[in-house]
Amino acid sequence: METAQQEVLTVKEPAPGIELTGSAALLEGLLIEGVDTIFGYPGGAIMPIYDALYDYMDKLKHILVRHEQGGIHAGQGYARSSGKVGVVFATSGPGATNLVTGLADAQIDSTPLVCITGQVFAHLLGTDAFQEIDVINVTSPVTKWNYQITDATEIPEVLAKAFYIARSGRPGPVLIDITKNAQLQKFNFEGYTPCRHIRSYRPKPIVRKEYVEQAAELINEAKKPFVLWGQGVILGSAEKEFKAFIEKSGIPSAWTILGAGAVPTGHPLNVGMLGMHGNYGPNVLTNECDVLIAIGMRFDDRVTGRLDKYAKQAKVIHLDIDPAEIDKNVQTTVPVWGDCKETLPLLTDLVQEKQHTEWLAKFRDFEKQEIDAVIREELFPSSEEMTMGEVIQTLNELTNGEAIIVSDVGQHQMVACRYAKLNHSRSNITSGGLGTMGFALPAAIGAKFGSPERTVVAIIGDGGIQMTIQELGTIMQSGIDIKIIVLNNQFLGMVRQWQELFNDRRYSFVDITSPDFVKVAEGYGIHGKSIAKREYLEDTLKTMLDHEGSYFLEIMVTKENNVFPMVPQGCSVSEIRLK
């Protein structure tokens, strides 16, 4: 991971000893770090950096968002699709506080970001000056590291540390707060050196080969081994190593939503999605396997259900780069600390080549039950109204699994994650741990800038789209090409589902009235259409995908359709319901 992410552009640095402002030094550092795109919104306290940026417009692309939250979600989408560090600019006060949701989202989902915020002059700190906020204390809980600069001479070293911390080990967001005087201050710029080491910071634990050997022994003795993989495989750029491991060991493997795509959806050992709305077999058989191998995942509550009833019969092997995740939620039999790009080949060398034919067949039997009870009607409904699942299925047929799917949060997210066909890694971008409504539209913008050669499709609900709909302005001004699908069921669907199942259909404030989305999109210069009949679905999706430039498609779907299977809150994964 680190090798791939620390590649830098060849940039001609100013001669050492040249006098630069803090703002110019910052931009020179960004160039050395290989930054090509910045998402941001200017303001008074960061104005010197924006003034300096005027002279760098041929080297650094700046995308003017419409809200700082949109900027940081765009930075996340850029990082998730490209594997590089996302960079975000914001001003002080409300500009900085508007980043907090995105910082929290990036922290939980291990997304590498470097956020630069402007701050009032150093002599005004602590005086409640206009647009002053203690951004360091506000953001400490939701960043991997943060730092306030009051002297320009600190900028090169602090920026280098920020990029190193953001991308190394378990990635995460970093914030640098720079006072206005430091941005304006001139100093003797001695050059910029990317950071490769920080004393007392160990991004990767030492691999203990005896634990790898113990893990291999358990796997070789197992009759019903089961692999759970998460985003750590993708963050570690270990897709090839992971595929080699499961193919040699022959172990059925299931994924968390952030791990989706690390191996193709159609791989014969890919048995589906874990969790509350995951597939039937992976959930039930978690409580039947004899060895559970978790790779780059954190045993989130949405995956485990009731911990006191989770995989109690199994010996647990946990491969993770973050020692804090070991034994945090699930007691581990053998911990394998380290970057899975390093640990997986060591494990693969020691495991025996096997085919767990009968065990794999059990997953396929449960899959048939799920198809009969849920999937067939969701993807090929007999009702007149369209379902979210059939939209995703039709999209699969047209994109053939080659698109990046960026989903928002809600029922449509679970449907998209369950049914989207993914042939490549970094193709499923969504808000996992925080569940941030409004994530998808700006994240899709960032994803397209991160991977401009790929088709990017945003799947959004009628609730989530209205949280960041202003970012249609970013699309208009930047000319970016993304395809936007709003699945409109005229409800806050996931909340409504819970109210139906657990609150006697007491639908409390989940009816949502929406504007004419197509007219709104057209107001931003984006072509759009709304359809409500199945007969128009395939042709309209094809028109959207073939259209040059962004396209906004609203699809009216059935109002009270529920996402199943479902593990009810407070139940074990083996109590998953098909209906």
Active site positions, annotated? 68, 130-131, 180, 494
Sequence-ordered alpha helix ranges (H) in 400-438? 411-419
- 378: Cβ–Cβ under 8 A, 6 or more apart, which residues? 387, 388, 389, 390, 415, 419
Distance CA 521, CA 518 (A): 5
C-alpha to C-alpha distance for 93 and 402, rounded to whole angstroms = 41
In angstroms, the CA 489 to CA 462 distance is 7
Return the number of other C-beta atoms located less than 10 Å from residue 431's C-beta.
Answer: 29
The edge-to-edge listing of strands for the beta sheet with 428-430 is 428-430, 404-407, 456-461, 483-488, 551-556, 527-531
**Residue 31's closest CA among 4, 58, 2, 50?**
58
Q: DSSP assignment of 8-54, as one string?
A: -----PPPTTEEEEHHHHHHHHHHHTT--EEEE---GGGHHHHHHHG
Structure tokens at 235: 């963050």
DSSP secondary structure of 99-156: THHHHHHHHHTT--EEEEEEE--GGGTTTT-TT---HHHHHGGG-SEEEEE-SGGGHH
Of the candidates 461, 563, 568, the one whose C-alpha atom is nearest the C-alpha of residue 510 is 461
**242, 264 Cβ separation under 8 angstroms:** no
* Token output for 419: 């049914």
